[in-house]
Structure formats: C-alpha cells, structure tokens
Chain A
C-alpha cells in the first residue's frame, strides 16, 4: 500500500493506520471472507471484490472510523449485496472453487443459503458459521440483537426445511 504526496507527520500517521488495518485484516478477513463467500452464493469474485473493497475503503477513512471491524463488515456485506443485485444473475449451479473446500461438498448448503433473505443469510453465517453471538452479529450488521434473533430463527427454520436433520438422511 502506498501513500504519496504527504509530509513526514502525515506519513507516520498513515503508516500507523496501515499497521492497525493490517492487524484488523489478519484477525477479521478470513472469517469475513468465508461469510461473504457463503452470502454471495459461492461467487468467489463477489466475495473477493466485497472484502478487498471494504478494506480498501477503510484504509482511506481509517482515521475517521470509530469502530473499524463493524464498519468493514457492514461495508463488505453491502457491497456484496449490491453487486449481486446489480448483476441479477441466478446463483451458480456449482459454487466457485476456493482453497480448502471441494465445491461439490458445499453445493447443498450454498443452495440452501441462497433461498434466505440477505439479512437471514448474513445472520446465519455470522452466528452459526463464524460463532459470533447475537449482540455481536447485531453490532457487525448494524441491527439489534433482537432483530438478529428473528433473522436467525427464520433462516434456520428455512434451512431445516430444506436440508433437514441427520435422521432425514437415513429415512
């Protein structure tokens, strides 16, 4: 990352901000990327665009953002949502390949997630995949914990209808 056209003091502050942002990236980006990849219906390009763009914008505004992690999460989900809305493409039949998983293995859950509303999908992914509590998810998405619980309830119910329980597999 380069910051040009600045004085020494500005540059010091920028370097400090960059270091802080790198720390946030190391700690948050893997989980955020996973969640946005699921949110985007297995669209790797959308997930990469959303996460990279959110951090890139955060770099520009870093000294003015009071809570970088929620800001970056909200921005990434909003960018992903808008990109999907703009393109209006149906989710791919097979999720895009990403390191660590076989697309065939996650095809069912990606298809199930695609049937949820964006808020339900984000709540389920952050709570049930990434392990955040409802208040934490609320903070990350800019909604109350009670609202998160409503989205979780409806989202899980829908996934249960679609994917069922282990017993369903053995029926």
Chain B
C-alpha cells in the first residue's frame, strides 16, 4: 500500500536549488551577528538601519576577529518527552541545560543539570547514568535519584532543582509526548556538605542497558573512573570562539564559550581565548569565582586539570563580565 504522505513528500524532490545561491555564499555571513535584537528585513533599505548595521559590523570585527557564533545555546521551552524509562539531555530556550526524565510509571520530571555544589564558584554539571538510573555530578560523584533527590556522595548541599511544566501533547496511552516548561522549583533538601570518601563510591556509570540512550563516555573527576552517561554536549556552531566576543555581544541567556582559565596570584580570574606569557588574549573577567581558593587548591597542585588548550565552558554574560561559569570539557565524547 502506498502511503499518500510519502507520495506527497516525494513531490518535493523536484524542488531545485536556486542557481545564484553560491554567489550569496561568496559574500560571506550576512545575517545580523546573531545579537539579541531581532532580524529586520523591512528596514534593509532604510539609511538609518544601514548606518547602524555598518557600526555593528565594525564593532563586531574589532571584538571578534575569529568569527561569529550563535548567541546563546540553542534550545526550546516546548520539549519532547523521550520514551518511557528514558532520560534526554536538552537545553531550554535561554540555553539552560536540563534533563527530561520519563519515568517507568509514565510520569515526567524536568531536572536541572546544574548541581547545587559549585566548588570555588565553578558550576558543576550532572549527567544521567542509564545503568544505575541516577544523576551523577561528574566532577565529584554526588548522586541523585531520577526525581533529582540527593542520595549519596558529594559534596552536594541539596538535591537538584526541578521545573514545573504543562503537558502539550499525549500519546494514545496518555503519556506526555510534549511539554511546556514552567517555573524552576527549589531543590529538595538533604545532601552532603563535606567531601565523602571516594574509595567507598560504587562503580561509575558502567555501560547501559538502554539501546536508545544517546550516551557519551566521561571521566569522573573524583575517582578517575570512565563511565557511560547521557550528558549535554554543545554543538560547535553554538560555541563562542572567544570570551571577549561573547561579552561584547552581551547575549541574554546561557552561552558556551571556548577559553582557558587564568588565575592571577591575587585571585583575579579571567577566561582567555589564549594565554601568552601569562597575558590573557581576547579574554573576559569572571565574576563569582573564589580565585584564591582555586589557585591554592587546584591550579597550583593540579595545573594539568585545566590543560594547555582552550576548553568549552558554559556561562552567562552580566554587565561586561562572565558569571555562573562551569566547565563541560570533561565530557569526553566517544
């Protein structure tokens, strides 16, 4: 039996690529530099707009010699629900990383991907372990159940925050297939304030029995074990090439940005596109990080942790500075 929708779809096969499109490619990127303002087509011929656009381009080139990137991490507030029993890692429209957990009983939770533990002010992300059906903070192995409640390990001062939501669409079994994200809720109480003994930790996310899970391989920062998890990975096109460019554009939401952390002896912390002779190139100052603590306890004894190559970080831009910064570079892809 021929499906009518397939026959209809095949009519699109005849659509031909406009012949002049390659010339347009040759003109270089020309959409507005993906700043916060909305694209305007109507004003394209207006002189005032032209002057403004030229100014924007000039400023952009000064601050962003390496090119452009999306402003915030691409995401949505209407989320698809994965099949029952599965958990998906997604980004909200403001770029915030969250998990959608479709529990075995058919209910759904939206769980924040940020642990409430942020050592020296650096945010830690959690990942989903399909093998043990729990969230794990990859850096320190605090563990949380699939509702976001803290269960073991740490430090983690509380459970994970969750989000309210409305169901947009259900399948024939009544399970939600699409949901609209609402307000963030306070994390559940209970946690471990102190660092627990890593030698007592169970095996770290060993394999997965869920063939549909989109997993990557990561290394625990605490026990150095390698595990298989569902985690957030940012597409290359969404990563700002330099912190200076990101801060200059002042995007409203969560961004991914490449850079090296540079902590000065006085505790001043910057994220730098490059570090040459101790000098920060195309960098931005970071707010809210305990630079002295980081320097004394991490950077000096473990210089290898932040490596010599720029890594990918998630952060927000606030008044010319970066804040709420966290590394996602320990998520090693297969």
Which of B11-19, B249-257, B322-330 has 4 or more CB atoms under 8 Å from chain A?
B11-19
- The distance in angstroms between the C-alpha atoms of A10 and B211, with both chains bound, is 46
Cβ-Cβ contact count across A and B, 8 Å cutoff: 157
Given A57-B68, A165-B3, A169-B4, check contact A154 B18 (CB 8 Å): no
Contacts of B27 in A (CB 8 A): 56
Given A147-B212, A156-B5, A163-B4, check contact A57 B29 (CB 8 Å): yes
**Cross-chain contact of B9 among A44, A128, A165 (Cβ < 8 A):** A128
Of residues 61 through 98 on chain B, the ones whose CB sits less than 8 Å from some CB of chain A are: 67-68, 70, 74, 76, 78, 80, 82-83, 88
Query: Residue B236 at the A interface, CB < 8 A?
Result: yes
In the complex, the chain A residue whose C-beta lies closest to that of B8 is A109
- Give the Cβ gap from A141 to chain B, nearest Cβ, in Å: 10
Using an 8 Å CB-CB cutoff, how does the interface string of A89-126 with B read, 1 for contact, 0 for none?
A: 00000000011110001101100100001110000110
* Pairs of residues from A and B, 6 with the lowest C-beta to C-beta distance, nearest first: A109-B8, A1-B26, A146-B212, A163-B5, A144-B214, A159-B5
Q: Is the CB of B16 within 8 A of A166?
A: no
Contacts of A34 in B (CB 8 A): 12-13, 15, 17
Contacts of A14 in B (CB 8 A): none
Contacts of A166 in B (CB 8 A): 1-4, 7
Given A99-B16, A101-B15, A129-B13, check contact A112 B29 (CB 8 Å): no
- Give the Cβ gap from B227 to chain A, nearest Cβ, in Å: 17
A-B contact pairs, 30 of them (CB 8 A): A25-B22, A34-B13, A34-B15, A48-B21, A51-B21, A53-B31, A56-B26, A56-B28, A59-B28, A74-B237, A75-B237, A78-B74, A78-B237, A78-B238, A79-B31, A81-B74, A87-B39, A99-B15, A100-B14, A105-B11, A112-B5, A118-B76, A124-B9, A129-B10, A142-B235, A144-B214, A154-B177, A162-B5, A166-B2, A167-B1
Using an 8 Å CB-CB cutoff, how does the interface string of A65-84 with B read, 1 for contact, 0 for none?
A: 10000010011001101110
**Cross-chain contact of B67 among A61, A146, A150 (Cβ < 8 A):** A61
- The distance in angstroms between the C-alpha atoms of A85 and B41, with both chains bound, is 15
Q: Is the CB of A165 within 8 A of B235?
A: no
- The distance in angstroms between the C-alpha atoms of A1 and B70, with both chains bound, is 23
In the complex, the chain A residue whose C-beta lies closest to that of B6 is A128
Given A101-B11, A143-B214, check contact A165 B1 (CB 8 Å): yes
Contacts of B88 in A (CB 8 A): 147
Q: Is the CB of B4 within 8 A of A2?
A: no
| Chain A interface SS verdict (over half) | helix
In the complex, the chain B residue whose C-beta lies closest to that of A163 is B5
Q: Is the CB of A30 within 8 A of B17?
A: yes
Chain B interface size range: 35 or more
In the complex, the chain A residue whose C-beta lies closest to that of B14 is A100
Using an 8 Å CB-CB cutoff, how does the interface string of B225-243 with A read, 1 for contact, 0 for none?
A: 0000000010111100000
Contacts of A124 in B (CB 8 A): 9
| Best-surrounded residue of A38, A124, A166 (most CB of chain B within 10 A) | A166
Using an 8 Å CB-CB cutoff, how does the interface string of A122-143 with B read, 1 for contact, 0 for none?
A: 0011001100000000000011
Q: Is the CB of B3 within 8 A of A106?
A: no
Q: Is the CB of B17 within 8 A of A33?
A: yes
In the complex, the chain B residue whose C-beta lies closest to that of A106 is B11
Further contacts, 13 of them, CB under 8 A, given A144-B214, A163-B8, A166-B1: A33-B18, A38-B12, A48-B21, A75-B237, A82-B70, A99-B15, A112-B5, A129-B9, A144-B213, A160-B5, A162-B5, A166-B3, A169-B4
- The distance in angstroms between the C-alpha atoms of A150 and B213, with both chains bound, is 11
- The distance in angstroms between the C-alpha atoms of A125 and B15, with both chains bound, is 13
In the complex, the chain A residue whose C-beta lies closest to that of B78 is A117
Query: Residue B25 at the A interface, CB < 8 A?
Result: yes
Q: Is the CB of A60 within 8 A of B28?
A: yes
- Give the Cβ gap from A55 to chain B, nearest Cβ, in Å: 4
In the complex, the chain B residue whose C-beta lies closest to that of A161 is B5
